[in-house]
Structure 1
Amino acid sequence: MSFTRRAGRPPVDTRARLDAIFRAVTLKAPGGGRGAWRQLPSGFGKPDTVSRTYRRWARANLWARLLTEVACPSCPPVLRRLTYVICCAFRRAIRVMGIRAIILARRLRLFSALPAPSTLVYDRDLSETLSAILPNALDRLRAEPGWRPPKGFIRAVDGLMRFALGRRPRRRMEPA
């Protein structure tokens, strides 16, 4: 059996790297919002190395697995005490993990893991509900030419669709 080696050295202390990541994801920028990796104090290592490890672990779904674990009722108390920093790490990894990360945080009801207030973030469940309503209304329009939707129906559906799609969260919208 042959193993392929990755470029670079393996981390000397994984716990220290995890501590550095947790410190970096909880940093705030001076003007508000999320802090940059370069703000990481030098005692935690090189910011580029820490951020590279963080992204590697995000692509490996580590943050999603940890978030799922802390949402579980049988989560060990030691891990449950880390919920805040795990939510911060997950929130920052949403750009790497994509829309499935937002759906996971919503379904687990861990709204602090979302990159903005939950009313501003994409809601797949609401989108699926609305996608079932619209074809029914169109079918009825075709079947009964004299039928008109109730007053305000189109506006209400339009508003709900905009709400379901959410807005692109900005860094300053992140919860503290």
Structure 2
Amino acid sequence: MAKATTFDESPQEHLLKEIKSARSVMLGSTNIDEHMQPMTPQVDVDESVIYFFADRFSQLGKTIGVNPGTVELCHITKDFQASIKGRLTTHNDADIIDKFWSPIVEAWYPEGKADPKLILLKFVPQKAAIWTSDKNVFSFLYEITKANISNETPDIGNRKTIEM
């Protein structure tokens, strides 16, 4: 569960840790006619960068290969939501590939790190809108009931916009 205090103290760090713990996020393309797609993030918290292993022959791989640029990444859990804009480029750095390589990644690339379809994408976050709530179901119901009685907006969480 997202903790509001951590969210308030260091929202950028909180965001990157949330993304790091995600099995997948939705990643956009520089081509507005293409849909977002699920991708597994490889987060370098120290550098504030998110990497993705991708197929260079996929729609996203081909698009970013010829047209890098600003894209959007979305991440949603029960108590944390984020919409992040940033720059997506190809970045085939062998050291970064080694750092994040795993048996799970290898399952997608049978020829290993030299697989011709393997491409590494680098997402550098620039601006994010993030929301969090640490309310349990009873607190949520209390806030909704209170709001309906008092005609006030319920207090169910926090929102921030951050530059990265």
Normalised by the size of structure 2, how large is the TM-score? Answer: 0.25
Q: Which protein is richer in strand relative to its size?
A: 2
Greater share of helix residues, 1 or 2?
1
Using structure 1 for the length normalisation, give the TM-score. 0.24
Query: Which structure has the larger Rg?
Result: 1
Larger relative contact order (Cα-Cα within 8 Å, sequence gap ≥ 6):
2
